[in-house]
Structure 1
Amino acid sequence: MGQLCIEKPKQKHSEDNLHELNPQTQKQPQTQESSLQNPNLTEQEVKEKTQVKLLDSVNTHQNQSIHDVYKLLSPPLGSGSYAEVRKGVHKVLGITRAIKIISKTEATNEEVSRVLHEAEILKQLDHPNIVKILEIYQNAQQIFIVTELCTGGELFDAIVESQQFSEKDAAKLMKQVLQGLNYCHQHKIVHRDIKPENIVFESKDKKGTIKIIDFGTSRVFDPHQKMNQKIGTPYYIAPEVLKKKYDEKCDIWSCGVLTYILLCGYPPFNGKSEAKILEKVEQGKYDFNSEEWDIITEEAKDFISKLMEKDPFKRYNAEQALKHPWITQQNEDVQNELPQIDRALKNMKTFKSTKQLQSAIYQYIVNQFSTQEDKSELLKTFKALDTNNDGQLSRQELLIGLRKVMNENEAVEEVERIMRDIDQNNSGTIDYSEFVAASINRSKLLSQDRLAKTFKAIDKDGNGSISIDELKLIFGNGLVPDQIWKQIIHEVNDKEEITFQDFSELMLNLAF
């Protein structure tokens, strides 16, 4: 391992516009709301569709000031020509978030479109290695995007500060990056700007969880159609992107470049100018001839070669990269155990939410209050069960895991129950948030203090009861009609508002 030294590029390389929103991400609210009122739908189908809408906890607030909800802190964590990121403390919940603030007056229409596009992409993603978006606020002058706060800084800074990255540490880090990308690619989303600045550490622990950020250049792709926009950052951009004919494997090339840098301290393609760097990238020739590579294993070099194969057709995809011996051997200590599966299973066995509002509020509490400490062991269990690294748990994966702690018949029966009771969005798999919600310690999560704070956060006017209008500010994103909201509240009581006693009893039914 040589001394780690690399310059941060001043800007990403982008030639074309970014107006590539997938039509599926631009559904109009009226269309979705009317789908709930379709007379051809059965009562059960309406309930299932409503549940999905309620669980879309990423609300876009058009008529509510973010300053009523969050106290924005100074100084900014970072700033650019038209945007800045600040910490924001929720005035009721007391939780600190990262808030990206975009000035519509300073940004071009194209830049505003890119920001909204990034938010739409992030709303679709639910993976432990991808930054989670929580809320969006918007007025005539600004857009505010609220996400989870990662306090460990950029991978770029860790590279600059560190004198060496061991192969084990590099492999553990790259496994997380590739797991996040595999999830994205399985969902037909390509990032297109993987680099150390866009990978952050969740906490100060540089051997802990990483998150992929900045989906501003990402897009939904068609696997049968090549992309043609030249987007990326010179050191990390794939050769085929320069030729404007590429697919999602451009992200894999960037992972190869990143691994190369982690292990030797400098990029495979360098030059005195951007043009010189891009010229070398286009040639796609690199080597392991310098002395820094003398102590690097052949498995590591082979891994890089598989990711930095110039021919995209021959290049590994994310799933193949995760199965490479260098990744699997360097992560053996994690893969050979199912940490705390008994505890997680015990919580999952007793998890059953029978009311739509109860499910939505509970997911809100999980999103807002569950800490890194709460989720650290659950994350290990989730990833140990997720044998194909796609960021979701299938029936078969659950069955394989459960067979290790119970007999075959019990395992089959439990898997069916899990899919019935825990797959809240009816996707056919257990998503990460669903797994956390079902397997977390609910008695600890649903403390009286947290329930009181949650009630107060929803009860905007502070009159001691929650109305339909107040629920609509938090849940459903304006897509659930009043008629269905009344039905949902009537699951709790026969009134059109909920007192704290109603609220507390509703949620504590889940605690045990």
Structure 2
Amino acid sequence: MGSQCCKNNNIRCQEEVILQNEQTANASPNPLQKVSLSQQGSKKSQIEEDQQMNVAQQPGYCLESENNQDAEQQEEMPKKEIELIKKEESVPLTKIDSSDASHIITAKEEIKKKNEPQGPGVRIKLGHDIFVKLKEGSIGSHYNFGKVLGQGAFGKVWKVTHKTTGLVRAIKQLKKSSLIKEDEQRMFSEMNILKNLDHPHIVKLFELYQDENNYYLVTEYLSGGELFDRIKKMSSFSENIAADYIRQILLATMHCHQQNIVHRDLKPENVIFINEDPNSQLKVIDFGTSRKFDNTKAMSKRLGTPYYIAPEVLNHQYNEKCDIWSCGIILYILLCGYPPFSGKSENQILDRVKAGKFNFDPEDWDQISKEAKEFITKLLRMDPNKRLSAKQALDDPWLVKYAPTSQVNKRVLDNIRQFRAQTILKQALMSYMITQMSTQKEISELQNEFKRLDINNDGYLSKEELIKGYQQLKLDYKYAQEEVDRMIDMIDINRSGMIDFSEFCMAAINQEKLLSVQRVEQAFKIFDLNGDGFISKQELESIMGDLGDDVWSQILSDCDGNNDGKISYEEFVRMLKNKKL
């Protein structure tokens, strides 16, 4: 259980509902069959019986208006995340919908634009996203392919191992011959939306390759299984655990909303544990229906899954708070074992969603706190204007009580204060190491520390938040302010004015561990593409994008001790270890 897969491409259109058919014998059952947390009362049994009669073979749905060409005239293309995370047993590939192809933004051109050379005197901006670019060549020279995790009409999903680092990834192979032009453009748009999401609870995209016949998308490999699969195995379940899980989902949701990205298909199947550790963190996956939204315009495309879809989506007039409704449904199920809106058919389910009437059956809810029920009610308000925002939800008394935060670790704060990376190349290399070469265990150890410092839960650390963190160490405010100013200048390599998650990890991790002899050797081999013992401008650009002559000159000035116009391994090591040339 608990490997990778992708969403179903084989969508069978009906009048209003497009049923996503699982293509393997072991496909995930419907949510009501999966969430039997305990022996519920007769009400739950009746619901499950009804579902078995009518939709037992219907594990998921994607709603879409037949008239979406008209309804979606003002909406840009929904972004389909390039994700590879689900179960080995059921591995259909991502659905490609070309119905709104006229709204596609040419993301391939956006990617190219982001990698254009910097002008003279411009301080180069670095970040995790600069390493996610379309690369040419044989992917087999970089990865050893293991077992096939899934297969569909568009290609295969593989478990792979990076040859140099030994890190396990997942690769989705897409046949170019199977993709029409709109599909290809959509893939680049999906990549753009995901590569810019840098958050502890959102799946990570690493690389994109192409050769003559295929595209290859390299993503994080999550082995912990789906949210409900984990819950079924637990010997006990409490409000504290439910609060912890829904808080992680809400943190990911808020980070998306802060960047004007709406997910539009939040459900338990799209929440995956990183690994099988009992304390493993969660990640939100499958941004297949996500998109950028405009606060001044309502969205209209009818997308989602019946149990979790918001009523306003069914009426073609909604905003990002459709995600909050889905979070409310997930929490309801976590606490009682069945959804608030069910029925003998998909149409009956949708009718009940539209009505929006639900209750807390005393048989199942008497032992649940009043605060939890009030919180769910605020998440499931019919009027989106009265429904909580992600930020308000994270500040709710129930979450504060049942999922409290603790004081930040002093060791992490000390690591950040000691961080040094004065040169452009060192900043780039350390960013590469933390985003592309670190293990899930190393990063997961830093996730909670990041969240403790992120007081407003937006997925970034502001100057004020860092100052408050350092005041926990009993530092004078003025001194803490000066320290934070210095640190932000050093750590904020993408020049956003704040510290994002990858930048935090780069500075907070133990530097000796990050710059171990083994990892430095691995990094040099990755950048030294031709294996001649030197890194040239062309080799550096193949990974980072166009640098421009001025930036390359600055890199050589910082690192090239013998002025031969390239970087040797010895110069590489000296630069990373802060040793004088």
Same fold by TM-score greater than 0.5: yes
Pair 301,434 (structure 1): closer, same or farther in 2 beyond 3 Å: same
Between Structure 1 and Structure 2, which shows a larger proportion of helix residues?
A: 1
Corresponding position of 1:401: 469
Post-superposition offset of 1:182? 0.5
Q: What letter matches 2:118 in structure 1?
A: L
The Cα of 1:309 is off from its aligned counterpart by 0.6
Q: Cα offset for 1:174?
A: 0.4
Distance, in Å, in 2 between the alignment partners of 1:33 and 1:200 is: 32
1:507 aligns with 2:581: no
Alignment counterpart, residue 319 of structure 2, candidates 221, 242, 247 = 247
> Which residue pairs with 1:57 in the alignment?
131
1:449 Cα deviation from its structure 2 partner: 1.2
Cα deviation, residue 80, structure 1:
4.1
Aligned 1:44-443 pairs, distance under 5 A: 46-47=122-123, 50-52=124-126, 56-61=130-135, 63-76=136-149, 78-107=150-179, 109-159=181-231, 161=233, 165-289=237-361, 291-332=363-404, 335-338=405-408, 340=409, 342-405=410-473, 406-443=475-512
1:33/1:196 CA distance change after superposition, 3 Å? closer
Shift of 1:95: 1.0
User: Is the Cα–Cα contact under 8 Å of residues 263 and 287 in structure 2 kept in the other structure?
Assistant: yes
Partner of 1:460: 529
Aligned 8 A contact 1:83 1:102 in 2:
yes
Q: Do 1:252 and 1:316's aligned partners in 2 also have CA atoms closer than 8 Å?
A: yes
After TM superposition, list the pairs within 5 Å mapping 1:19-58 onto structure 2: 19-20=77-78, 27-28=109-110, 31-32=113-114, 36-37=118-119, 43=121, 46-47=122-123, 50-52=124-126, 56-58=130-132
Cα distance in 2 between the residues matched to 1:34 and 1:145: 22
The 8 Å contact of residues 105 and 189 in structure 2, kept in 1 or not, is answered as no
1:463 partner SS: coil
Report the Cα distance in structure 2 between the residues aligned to 1:246 and 1:222, rounded to whole angstroms. 11
Distance, in Å, in 2 between the alignment partners of 1:179 and 1:30 is 31
Instruction: Give, in angstroms, the shift of residue 510 of structure 1.
Output: 8.6
How far apart in 2 are the matches of 1:54 and 1:174? 27
1:491 paired residue among 537, 558, 562: 558
Evaluate the alpha carbon distance shift between residue 29 and residue 367 of structure 1 in structure 2; reply closer, same or farther with a 3 A threshold: closer
Provide, for residues 456-506 of structure 1, a one-character-per-residue CA deviation record: whole Å limited to 9, x for no partner: 122121111112221122112xx4335643443343112322111111111
Instruction: Tell me which moved more, 397-406 or 28-37.
Output: 28-37
1:247-279 Cα shifts (integer Å, max 9, x gaps): 000000000010011111111111222222111
- Cα offset for 1:368? 2.9
Deviation at 1:12, TM superposition (A): 2.3
CA distance in 2, matches of 1:350, 1:53: 20
- Which residue of structure 1 aligns with residue 43 of structure 2? none
Between the aligned partners of 1:240 and 1:489, the Cα distance in structure 2 is 57
Following TM superposition, by how much is the alpha carbon of 1:188 offset from its aligned partner in structure 2, in angstroms? Answer: 0.6
CA deviation string 1:297-326 (max 9, x = no partner): 111111111111111000001000001111
C-alpha contact (below 8 Å) 1:442/1:510 kept by paired residues: no
* Letter paired with 2:308: Y
Which of 161-170 and 28-37 deviates more? 28-37
Query: Is the 1:51–1:356 contact (alpha carbons within 8 Å) kept by the matching residues of 2?
Result: no
Take 2:237 and 2:301, find their aligned partners in 1: how far apart are those partners? Answer: 33
**Equivalent residue letter for 1:19:** M
Residue identity in the other structure for 1:345? L
Q: Does structure 2 retain, via aligned residues, the 8 Å contact 1:252–1:307? A: yes
CA contact (8 A) 2:107 2:185 kept: no
In 2: Cα distance, 1:117 partner to 1:165 partner: 40
Contact 1:165 1:262 survives alignment (8 Å): no
The 2-side partners of 1:368 and 1:28 are apart by 22
CA distance in 1, matches of 2:186, 2:279: 32
Q: Work out the percentage of aligned pairs sharing the same amino acid.
A: 42
Separation of aligned partners in 1, 2:215 and 2:406: 45
Segments of structure 2 that go 5 or more residues without pairing to the other structure are: 1-36, 41-47, 70-75, 80-103
Post-superposition offset of 1:23: 5.5
Residues 32 and 104 of structure 1: CA distance in aligned 2, closer, same or farther (over 3 Å): closer
Please report how far the alpha carbon of residue 372 of structure 1 lies from its aligned counterpart in structure 2 after TM superposition. 3.3
Q: How far did residue 104 of structure 1 move?
A: 3.3
Q: Which residue pairs with 2:513 in the alignment?
A: 444
1:292 and 1:80 map into 2 onto residues whose CA distance is 41
| Cα pair distance change 1:375/1:52, threshold 3 Å | closer
* In 1, Cα distance between equivalents of 2:131 and 2:450: 22
Q: TM-score, normalising length from structure 1? A: 0.90
What is the one-letter code of the residue matched to 2:140? H
SS at match of 2:449: helix
**Cα shift at 1:146:** 1.0
The question of whether the paired residues in 2 share the 8 Å contact of 1:2 and 1:163 is answered with: no
Query: Residue type matched to 2:500 in 1?
Result: D
31 and 475 in structure 1: CA distance in 2 versus 1, 3 angstrom threshold: closer
Match of 2:88 in 1: none
What is the root-mean-square deviation in Å for CA atoms of aligned residues? Answer: 2.5
Stretch moving more, 453-462 or 218-227: 453-462
Greater displacement, 23-32 / 270-279: 23-32
**Alpha carbons of 1:30 and 1:430: their partners in 2 closer, same or farther (altered >3 Å)?**
closer
1:179 Cα deviation after fit = 0.5
Task: Using the TM superposition, give the Cα deviation of residue 353 of structure 1 relative to its aligned residue in structure 2, in angstroms.
Answer: 1.4
Q: Specify whether residues 107 and 257 from structure 1 end up closer, same or farther in structure 2 by C-alpha distance, changes over 3 A only.
A: farther
